[in-house]
Chain A
């Protein structure tokens, strides 16, 4: 992921307050700019909202079998049976009043989207825990459609739901859906569009003065109605009512009754759970079946035996597989490039560009630059994303989070932080957004610090590609071990330095699921193609600049200037310092530019790196790259989430840690 995407994501951040500030709702009511009704997809974490959203809109959306995958709002135009609508995917919510500090409450996100109808996605196999949210959405006064999702898994567990009866009880349409297969998805969205149409054309005067067929005890209903009356009259003790709620009522985006159910959420929630319990008992039929294999296996993942050895095995196997697949792809692509593309490029550029120095610099970019991309960036990043997608979709990550809980406690974090941290091995940017699922700013900051110390796929590519071929796979494993140790000690220190305490783990474990090839492929491909499209231009420009410096001889003085630090402290050739510094733009530049330099010095062929640096030097270089300053996209993300001061502190800390660790390792391996 790149700076551009980080910026894009940042724009999609919970924007409740901004939208509130923009004032009046359009006269037509809560409809999108072009008049299409807005349909929000709401549900508990990991119930399949994004899968539903992707199916309904026919396009990829980030999906994973861990709670907390979606952390920002996505909107898409859909067209169904000649009617247009805007579909909105939201982060998972336990209740409408969910919030983690520093971020808006869930109802604020929801209201900012101005939904005309809500599709509440529930787990057909666990209605007791999913219906309360559906009730809460219905209480808002926005029409709801319930998608009884995961129907396939419910069936496999012997659970059947009487949908007709449930629909009667809820006074809302209920659809049986299997998001993964697309079953029922379009029908549910179609119903929502129909209901939304009724609402936005319907008379505003008909705003209900009471809860619809209230299933709650009379005294609770009376309290809510009284509160609604006061909200409608505008006389409310403001310390009990958030201003955003009042302005939503004033703008006609929310009925007073709906607003009252948010204010009185603490009274209503226990009633909703009681109703859910009753209704679930009425609509569920259970057959005794043998538990599915996945459920029987799930237990073993978190148990000390065989959970722990399995954890070690999965970690090593993932690294090993990335190395093997990456190295294989790298060899194939690299030699194809040198044999077929390189000679042609050289001939063409030399013929077309008359000025020799310019031609040389252009070749640096087009030939060596793209070669480095093809033989390092692409193979390792692609293999890595494939593996990560398999792990994410299997549901194994949450199990790993449980096993690692105690280690994370020492770092001031709940085990839940393991999930964004593991995602950070793909790319740090979404991982930092992923920390939004944590409870406090302190936890989010500590986790983000660890995330910046976690080698992302680009940095892992550098470590693997620099070490595996020239110093052996063991050296690469060792480097990851050293980086892990560095992160662990830095995390311990940060936990001791940053004041505050940690909240303990409460985490729902997703079931194990067989990853679907199509979904794994789509996810890896999506991430990979955004990597290629954003990394390639930077790679070309970086190589061109380096080529210019080299061809004009300017590289000499720069090298001399940084020599004390690079050679003195880290024991590396000074030009390597230039590659390290440019790697701030894109981490994989660290190796690609080194290769480019090597090619310039010693001619084509990957083995030239070995002529350029000793394996000890490569080891130090790999570790410093893996740990030092995050890339510019990560820095921008940190600044967006925590402010520039924290972002610069975190980056500075990683640089300090990297230089210190690099210096120590350099002395240990005897190169400085």
Chain B
């Protein structure tokens, strides 16, 4: 999937631009359990902080926590960018 131009369209977490808060809308069955154990579940708001070098993991913020998530896993997470005001209210 290609990076969406406007950060309001639903996309994979793998393609979410850094710094944009987005709500998780769906997670592929295969990755659901592992991610859920870390608190990445449909409905929570996450944002991308950075990318590790050489196509390494994405660094995700979830509330106060920072998680490193391999790109294949990030590709399994569908997110929808939050309108700025909403995002501020959520956490």
Q: Is A588 an interface residue (CB 8 A)?
A: no
Tell me how far the C-beta of B13 lies from the nearest C-beta in chain A, rounded to whole angstroms: 12
Q: A94-B38, A270-B41, A504-B72 are in contact. Are A509 and B54 (CB under 8 A)?
A: no
Q: Are A509 and B41 in contact (CB under 8 A)?
A: no
Out of B34, B41, B51, which one reaches A506, CB within 8 Å?
B34
What is the CA–CA distance of A157 and B66 in the complex, to the nearest angstrom? 14
Out of A94, A270, A273, A508, which one reaches B65, CB within 8 Å?
A508
Q: A273-B39, A299-B50 are in contact. Are A415 and B73 (CB under 8 A)?
A: no
B residues contacting the other copy or chain, number (CB 8 A): 29
Cβ–Cβ < 8 Å partners of B55 in chain A: 406
Q: A302-B59, A402-B57, A406-B56 are in contact. Are A125 and B68 (CB under 8 A)?
A: no
Cβ–Cβ < 8 Å partners of B38 in chain A: 94, 129, 506, 508
From B37, which residue of chain A is reached at the shortest CB distance?
A94
What is the CA–CA distance of A302 and B67 in the complex, to the nearest angstrom? 11
Cβ–Cβ < 8 Å partners of A299 in chain B: 49-50, 59
Q: Within residues 31 to 81 of chain B, which ones have a CB less than 8 A from any CB in chain A?
A: 34-39, 41, 49-57, 59, 62-73
Q: Are A128 and B39 in contact (CB under 8 A)?
A: yes
Q: Are A129 and B65 in contact (CB under 8 A)?
A: yes
Q: Are B56 and A303 in contact (CB under 8 A)?
A: no
What is the CA–CA distance of A128 and B56 in the complex, to the nearest angstrom? 28
Q: Is A307 an interface residue (CB 8 A)?
A: yes
Cβ–Cβ < 8 Å partners of A506 in chain B: 34-35, 38, 67-70, 73
Q: A95-B37, A270-B41, A303-B50 are in contact. Are A128 and B63 (CB under 8 A)?
A: yes
From B67, which residue of chain A is reached at the shortest CB distance?
A508
What is the CA–CA distance of A374 and B72 in the complex, to the nearest angstrom? 51
Q: Are B59 and A505 in contact (CB under 8 A)?
A: no
Q: Are A302 and B68 in contact (CB under 8 A)?
A: yes
Q: Is A548 an interface residue (CB 8 A)?
A: no
Cβ–Cβ < 8 Å partners of B67 in chain A: 506-509
Tell me how far the C-beta of B79 lies from the nearest C-beta in chain A, rounded to whole angstroms: 16
Cβ–Cβ < 8 Å partners of B39 in chain A: 128-129, 273
Q: Within residues 495 to 553 of chain A, which ones have a CB less than 8 A from any CB in chain B?
A: 504-509
Q: Are B52 and A504 in contact (CB under 8 A)?
A: no
Tell me how far the C-beta of B21 lies from the nearest C-beta in chain A, rounded to whole angstroms: 16
Out of B49, B50, B66, B73, which one reaches A508, CB within 8 Å?
B66
Q: Are B68 and A505 in contact (CB under 8 A)?
A: yes
Q: Are A507 and B63 in contact (CB under 8 A)?
A: no
Q: Are B68 and A509 in contact (CB under 8 A)?
A: yes
What is the CA–CA distance of A414 and B69 in the complex, to the nearest angstrom? 10
From A273, which residue of chain B is reached at the shortest CB distance?
B41
**B contacts with A: majority SS:** mixed
Tell me how far the C-beta of A134 lies from the nearest C-beta in chain B, rounded to whole angstroms: 14
Q: Are A414 and B70 in contact (CB under 8 A)?
A: yes
Q: Are A402 and B56 in contact (CB under 8 A)?
A: yes
From B53, which residue of chain A is reached at the shortest CB distance?
A304
The 0/1 profile, CB within 8 Å of B marked 1, for residues 259-301 of chain A is: 0000000000110010000000000000000000000001100
Out of A125, A273, A302, which one reaches B64, CB within 8 Å?
A125
Cβ–Cβ < 8 Å partners of A509 in chain B: 59, 66-68
What is the CA–CA distance of A95 and B67 in the complex, to the nearest angstrom? 17
Q: A129-B65, A302-B59 are in contact. Are A308 and B53 (CB under 8 A)?
A: yes
The 0/1 profile, CB within 8 Å of B marked 1, for residues 381-414 of chain A is: 0000000000000000000011101100000001
Q: Are A157 and B64 in contact (CB under 8 A)?
A: yes
Out of A128, A269, A273, A415, which one reaches B57, CB within 8 Å?
A415
What is the CA–CA distance of A499 and B55 in the complex, to the nearest angstrom? 25
Q: A302-B59, A405-B70 are in contact. Are A307 and B53 (CB under 8 A)?
A: yes
Q: Is A126 an interface residue (CB 8 A)?
A: yes
Q: Are B52 and A403 in contact (CB under 8 A)?
A: yes
What is the CA–CA distance of A405 and B70 in the complex, to the nearest angstrom? 8
What is the CA–CA distance of A126 and B64 in the complex, to the nearest angstrom? 7
Q: Is A98 an interface residue (CB 8 A)?
A: yes
Cβ–Cβ < 8 Å partners of B51 in chain A: 304
Cβ–Cβ < 8 Å partners of A94 in chain B: 37-38
Q: A129-B39, A299-B49 are in contact. Are A405 and B68 (CB under 8 A)?
A: yes
Cβ–Cβ < 8 Å partners of A298 in chain B: 66
What is the CA–CA distance of A415 and B55 in the complex, to the nearest angstrom? 13
Cβ–Cβ < 8 Å partners of A302 in chain B: 50, 52, 59, 68
Tell me how far the C-beta of A128 lies from the nearest C-beta in chain B, rounded to whole angstroms: 6
Tell me how far the C-beta of A385 lies from the nearest C-beta in chain B, rounded to whole angstroms: 27
Q: Are B63 and A129 in contact (CB under 8 A)?
A: yes
From A93, which residue of chain B is reached at the shortest CB distance?
B37
Cβ–Cβ < 8 Å partners of A270 in chain B: 36, 41
Tell me how far the C-beta of B34 lies from the nearest C-beta in chain A, rounded to whole angstroms: 6
What is the CA–CA distance of A414 and B63 in the complex, to the nearest angstrom? 24
Cβ–Cβ < 8 Å partners of B69 in chain A: 505-506
From B71, which residue of chain A is reached at the shortest CB distance?
A504
What is the CA–CA distance of A406 and B53 in the complex, to the nearest angstrom? 9
Q: Within residues 7 to 44 of chain B, which ones have a CB less than 8 A from any CB in chain A?
A: 34-39, 41
**Apart from A403-B53, A507-B68, 16 more pairs, CB < 8 Å:** A94-B37, A129-B65, A299-B50, A302-B50, A402-B52, A403-B56, A405-B52, A405-B56, A415-B57, A415-B68, A506-B38, A506-B68, A506-B70, A508-B66, A509-B67, A509-B68
Ordered nearest first, which 10 A-B pairs have the shortest CB separation? A504-B70, A94-B37, A304-B53, A129-B39, A505-B70, A509-B66, A406-B54, A402-B68, A405-B56, A507-B68
A–B complex contacts, Cβ < 8 Å, 9 sampled: A98-B37, A126-B64, A159-B64, A302-B50, A302-B68, A402-B56, A506-B38, A508-B65, A509-B59
Binding site for B on A (CB under 8 A): 94-95, 98, 125-126, 128-129, 157, 159, 269-270, 273, 298-299, 302-304, 307-308, 401-403, 405-406, 414-415, 504-509
